Structure 1
């Protein structure tokens, strides 16, 4: 890393790091959410979630429209193949046509509620872990220094993932399932309540058991996110360092943004492609509606089931929108985060 970057790392407080990360997460979540919806819909469809146009609508309760609704149901079901998603652009087209343009941002509230605290924990912890480990390895084991980003990224991501996982579960369910009735779609809290509602029981032990369902699929999430972070940071740091070293001490706002966005884009693209099967397994576990069955599912058995049903193609369902989302997302988060750190660092220098 360049001296400028290192200095800004050591002089910023945890609060300033968290502010930088939260702002980056806010911008990224809004920009890439439609691609996240497309990826989740394609993976949920492969897992058996039906997207059959009017077939997915709930039945009306009044007798006066039962016959009409029955006719619409039959017509919709007979043309079900026309509502089968064929790819990312097809998801966009059919979601806009059948559910409305704003549905492409379904789950954005959950994405913000998730990404702001997650990235607010993740990025500052990565900085802190990396700086501590680099200082230790440089003095005691220089040969291990190149592996610091891998270990620091994995540790920071694990901490952030475990802390904020229930909101990730809610976001996936909000994006995967279509509206089943008229009116306002359920929010984060209502979605989470629906996860634990099917389990009855009044004892304290049973109530505690119910809330375990909020961490359904955590193993799959960690199995995806830890390798993703390890690959991402191991790729990002050398690329970023090479670009910043070419600039030297003449780094400007434009070069800081460019170096970090380029490195983040390449790293995010490679990491998302490599971990796509784990993302498919995570989605399938999170959308499982039977709570008891969801708890018994493991990443290994889910991957085997996906391979048995769809082979290699099944393991890479939604890889297009996933890569299209991850590259820009990582680039935006890292470049905005480092830009704010750069600005705060220069403000400290000016004030002192």
Structure 2
């Protein structure tokens, strides 16, 4: 989720509106023009909700597929400390792990778990989208937040709270698919799970319904901070950049600010993502349990056995996929948006 959090933005309308892909919170460049925000939103919906959602979904799937090798490397590094000794961990490197994958599993193994990632995106995004709108409308009825069109603070609170609640809702409902993705991506030479449906059935059979939700607490704990950091860094950088360089391309500006906000959010929330991955694999396929004391006990165990650096195992491939992930999302989204807009206009 960070992950879904860290894919981090889709920019609409030539960079005028960024949708945080991991959590569905909208960051609008015109956020200070509160009295006309409703009209601007209506004027900006040129394709219609369905076409807009389709373009964003396809763009996210294409980006996930293109950056899947880096995503799998991130997962493999994150879970290395569970059953590996210190000597093995000290020899780990991106090039060595990538070479091992090609030699032992074949080149196609870089995309292990990508199909379930794509299958996860549609329900996650749709739930996120509709939940965000519902929560936003409900929050606007609360005294103090009902003046969101007139006051910056109220508007920001509505967006942050709505985005956080929508992210929690979508993550909770679709979490089993995220867990299956981790289990499939973490498999190396020994194949136990043969696909999405087999993994779901096997986990339910071996570990019960609770097994499908291992690590959910770490996911939900990271939703709010991830949205808040992405939102604040994006808006701060964008405002400062526009003051210093008002003639720069809006698309480039959103890409640059979105990438930096994604890196900042990744840096802060990565330990939670790492703990989530390890808890998702806890006791999988009959392996011995490593962490037996919950979320915070897992943090203590990792720090004690691997040091604070252990909490950031795999952060480099995570960084490497942020900028190309953004670029692919922008390119695919804008291309599809132009095609769909042209088709709508012909009708």
TM bucket (normalised to shorter chain) is: 0.7 to 0.9
Distance in 1 of aligned mates of 2:89 and 2:301: 25
Matching of residues 37-76 of structure 1 within 5 Å: 37-48=72-83
SS at match of 2:309: helix
Aligned to 1:104: 110
RMSD: 4.0
Distance in 1 of aligned mates of 2:119 and 2:82: 26
Aligned to 2:185: 175
Whether 1:22 aligns to 2:30 is no
Aligned to 1:214: 212
Larger radius of gyration: 1
Query: In structure 2, do the counterparts of structure 1 residues 49 and 116 end up closer, same or farther at CA, with 3 Å as the change threshold?
Result: farther
Aligned to 2:168: 158
Distance in 1 of aligned mates of 2:96 and 2:303: 24
SS at match of 1:263: helix
Whether 1:35 aligns to 2:45 is no
Q: CA deviation at 1:226?
A: 3.4
Contact 1:224–1:282, Cα closer than 8 Å, also in 2: no
TM-score, structure 1 length as denominator? 0.71
Distance in 2 of aligned mates of 1:230 and 1:153: 9
Q: CA deviation at 1:263?
A: 2.5
Aligned to 2:276: 282
SS at match of 1:86: coil
Q: CA deviation at 1:266?
A: 1.2
Aligned to 1:90: 96
Q: CA deviation at 1:242?
A: 6.4
Comparing 172-181 and 93-102, the one that deviates more: 172-181
TM-score, structure 2 length as denominator? 0.72
Contact 1:95–1:101, Cα closer than 8 Å, also in 2: yes
Comparing 276-285 and 184-193, the one that deviates more: 184-193
SS at match of 1:220: helix
Distance in 2 of aligned mates of 1:335 and 1:299: 38
Aligned residues: 306
CA deviations 1:248-305 (Å, max 9, x no partner) are 9x99xxx454233222211111101111110111011001126996996532121111
Unaligned runs of 5+ in 2: 1-28, 31-36
Distance in 2 of aligned mates of 1:284 and 1:103: 20
Q: CA deviation at 1:310?
A: 1.2
SS at match of 1:268: helix
Query: In structure 2, do the counterparts of structure 1 residues 167 and 325 end up closer, same or farther at CA, with 3 Å as the change threshold?
Result: same
Q: CA deviation at 1:313?
A: 0.7
Contact 2:104–2:189, Cα closer than 8 Å, also in 1: no
Unaligned runs of 5+ in 1: 51-79, 200-209
Comparing 339-348 and 230-239, the one that deviates more: 339-348
Distance in 1 of aligned mates of 2:251 and 2:81: 38
